[in-house]
């Protein structure tokens, strides 16, 4: 992919989710778990459902054709995709769209990529998604999608936040459309904090102190579930970048020797280890399904803080205590001498949509994306998931009544130009191996040195593997 941009350029933060996103917020790519395909397959479409193109039918979707969409069923659910599928069927009378859920994209679709019969469009997301680096040569170019008119008659490119093609462009070819804008934060119940007079911690020492206060009330500070243990890695990386600056991000992105031993990274690990050793992390997470663990936070209020992306509210909407007032805060720094302010924020575009070039109906896959990018479908997504898509100008001032969405706007406003992201975990598909290390660390089964050694071993293995195409970052 193109080199990610470390920070956002200046713009009106207060209107961020309502219409002012700068390009760098979209610097993200898909791929937490690698697929065993070679990534060098043919890009010649076996498209058997193509008709004559026109302004109203830009991709030449054949009459009465069928389109298959496989959608990751995670925090956003699949209802928004089903809505888009129905819109596509209405727009193209006689066509049919089959929307199927999957919870492990690589495991579900790897055999179909190998066999040369993948679905027509895929939401390549989740902990088990396909490392985009392994299949990018097998994907259709999506430039014509954003150059087409949406269902309201406006050129799609003119309706999107700037920079939408950057994260999914590889060697000049745009092959992945990241549909959702994600803000990462440390989430908490504003009502619980208000009731107890607690203050959101800004450093790991303050987190430790809050852990003692929580313990006095019979609660834990943190908790986790086995599939989401690396949410703490995401928080740790963000904290280390904020503490040590851009050099930390570049060392990790470029798979440098001893990158996990950098002082800022070690300080974060040490701060987290102190919290774990004090008994402030709810035990049993390594044996708990992540949604059940999240419910221990959002419904039972067993622990106070949870690191996650902005999808968390929608993911837990049926398991959140009334009056919880879910709210996000920036990830902590190590101390006040950090290179970036506490308000600095990790934000990216996610949910990477791809159209396999070998799909039976490439035109159908692209038409499905066109439907998703319509005003009606994008508004439906924002309203039902309390998250922003990459279609601008659709979030009202009240965030559809969502305290979580309101807090995202506030965090981005406070962050100013201090917004950053990274891509190496997704790009090289390291999440699965890293999950093992983080589950062990969080349950108190390893020390900082062991965690560091394990993470560095994963990094070094990729760095030394000549078969893995590297993406230099500067």
pLDDT in tens, 16-69: 343 333 333 333 333 322 222 223 333 434 444 556 678 899 999 999 999 999
The reply to whether 473 falls in a domain is no
| Number of independent structural domains in the chain | 2
The reply to whether 102 falls in a domain is yes
Q: Are the beta carbons of 269 and 451 closer than 8 angstroms?
A: yes
The reply to whether 81 falls in a domain is yes
Percent share of the chain, pLDDT over 70: 88
pLDDT of residue 51: 60
pLDDT of residue 2: 30
Give me the domain span that covers residue 161.
Answer: 66-174+355-394
Q: Quick one: pLDDT band at residue 350, thresholds 50, 70, 90?
A: confident
Give the Cα separation of 394 and 386 in Å (integer).
11
246 and 217 in a single domain? The answer is yes
286 and 234 in a single domain? The answer is yes
223 and 289 in a single domain? The answer is yes
227 and 307 in a single domain? The answer is yes
pLDDT of residue 392: 86
Does 433 score more than 80 pLDDT? yes
209 and 273 in a single domain? The answer is yes
Among 62-76, 313-327, 401-415, 452-466, the least confident range: 401-415
236 and 160 in a single domain? The answer is no
Q: Are the beta carbons of 327 and 187 closer than 8 angstroms?
A: yes
pLDDT of residue 7: 31
94 and 187 in a single domain? The answer is no
| Segment 316-345 mean pLDDT | 97
pLDDT of residue 395: 85
Q: Tally the C-alpha atoms within 13 A of residue 145's C-alpha that lie toward its C-beta.
A: 30
pLDDT in tens, 215-243: 999 999 999 999 999 999 999 999 999 99
206 and 133 in a single domain? The answer is no
311 and 343 in a single domain? The answer is yes
| Segment 283-312 mean pLDDT | 97
| Segment 357-366 mean pLDDT | 98
Give the Cα separation of 286 and 153 in Å (integer).
50
Does 10 score more than 60 pLDDT? no
Report the CATH number that the domain containing residue 107 is assigned in CATH.
3.40.190.10
pLDDT of residue 39: 32
| Segment 154-178 mean pLDDT | 86
pLDDT in tens, 168-183: 888 889 999 999 988 9
| Segment 398-413 mean pLDDT | 90
pLDDT of residue 49: 53
The reply to whether 136 falls in a domain is yes
266 and 384 in a single domain? The answer is no
Q: Are the beta carbons of 108 and 70 closer than 8 angstroms?
A: yes
204 and 274 in a single domain? The answer is yes
As a whole number, the mean pLDDT across the chain is 88
The reply to whether 46 falls in a domain is no
Does 315 score more than 80 pLDDT? yes
For residue 350, the cross-strand partners are: 180
pLDDT in tens, 237-294: 999 999 999 999 999 999 999 999 999 999 999 999 999 999 999 999 999 999 999 9
305 and 442 in a single domain? The answer is yes
The reply to whether 272 falls in a domain is yes
| Segment 444-469 mean pLDDT | 97
Among 6-20, 216-230, 345-359, name the most confident range: 216-230
The reply to whether 454 falls in a domain is yes
pLDDT of residue 40: 31
The reply to whether 29 falls in a domain is no
| Segment 106-133 mean pLDDT | 92
């Amino acid at each position: 992919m193109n080199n990610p941009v470390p920070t956002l350029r200046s713009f009106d933060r207060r209107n961020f989710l309502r219409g002012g996103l700068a390009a760098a917020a979209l610097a993200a790519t898909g791929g937490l778990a690698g697929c065993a395909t070679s990534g060098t397959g043919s890009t010649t479409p076996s498209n058997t459902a193509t008709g004559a193109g026109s302004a109203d039918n830009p991709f030449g979707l054949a009459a009465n054709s069928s389109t298959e969409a496989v959608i990751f069923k995670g925090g956003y659910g699949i209802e928004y995709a089903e809505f888009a599928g129905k819109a596509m069927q209405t727009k193209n009378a006689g066509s049919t769209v089959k929307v199927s859920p999957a919870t492990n994209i690589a495991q579900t679709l790897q055999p179909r990529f190998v066999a040369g019969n993948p679905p027509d469009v895929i939401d390549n997301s989740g902990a088990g998604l396909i490392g985009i680096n392994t299949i990018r040569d097998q994907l259709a170019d999506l430039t014509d999608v954003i150059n087409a008119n949406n269902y309201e008659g406006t050129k799609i490119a003119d309706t999107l936040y700037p920079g939408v093609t950057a994260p999914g462009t590889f060697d000049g070819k745009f092959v992945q459309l990241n549909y959702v804008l994600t803000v990462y934060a440390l989430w908490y119940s504003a009502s619980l904090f208000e009731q107890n007079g607690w203050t959101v911690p800004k450093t790991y020492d303050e987190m430790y102190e809050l852990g003692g206060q929580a313990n006095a009330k019979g609660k834990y500070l943190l908790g986790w579930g086995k599939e989401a243990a690396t949410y703490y890695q995401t928080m740790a990386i963000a904290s280390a970048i904020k503490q040590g600056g851009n050099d930390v991000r570049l060392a990790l992105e470029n798979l440098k020797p001893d990158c996990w031993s950098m002082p800022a990274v070690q300080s974060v690990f040490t701060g987290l280890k102190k919290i774990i050793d004090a008994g402030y992390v709810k035990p049993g997470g390594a044996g708990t399904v992540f949604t059940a663990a999240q419910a221990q936070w959002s419904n039972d209020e067993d622990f106070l803080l949870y690191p996650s992306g902005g999808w968390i509210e929608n993911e837990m909407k049926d398991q959140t205590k009334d009056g919880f007032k879910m709210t996000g805060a920036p990830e902590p720094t190590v101390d006040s001498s950090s290179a970036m302010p506490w308000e600095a924020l990790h934000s990216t575009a996610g949910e990477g949509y791809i159209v396999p070039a070998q799909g039976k109906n490439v035109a159908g896959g692209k038409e499905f994306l066109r439907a998703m990018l319509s005003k009606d479908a994008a508004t439906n997504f924002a309203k039902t998931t309390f998250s922003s898509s990459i279609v601008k100008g659709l979030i009202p001032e009240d965030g559809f009544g969502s305290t979580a969405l309101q807090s995202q706007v506030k965090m981005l406003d406070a962050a100013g130009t201090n917004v950053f992201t990274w891509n190496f975990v997704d790009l090289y598909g390291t999440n699965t191996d890293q999950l093992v290390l983080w589950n062990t660390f969080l349950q108190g089964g390893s020390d900082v040195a062991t965690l560091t050694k394990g993470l560095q071993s994963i990094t070094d293995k990729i760095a030394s593997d000549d078969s893995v195409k590297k993406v230099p970052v500067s």
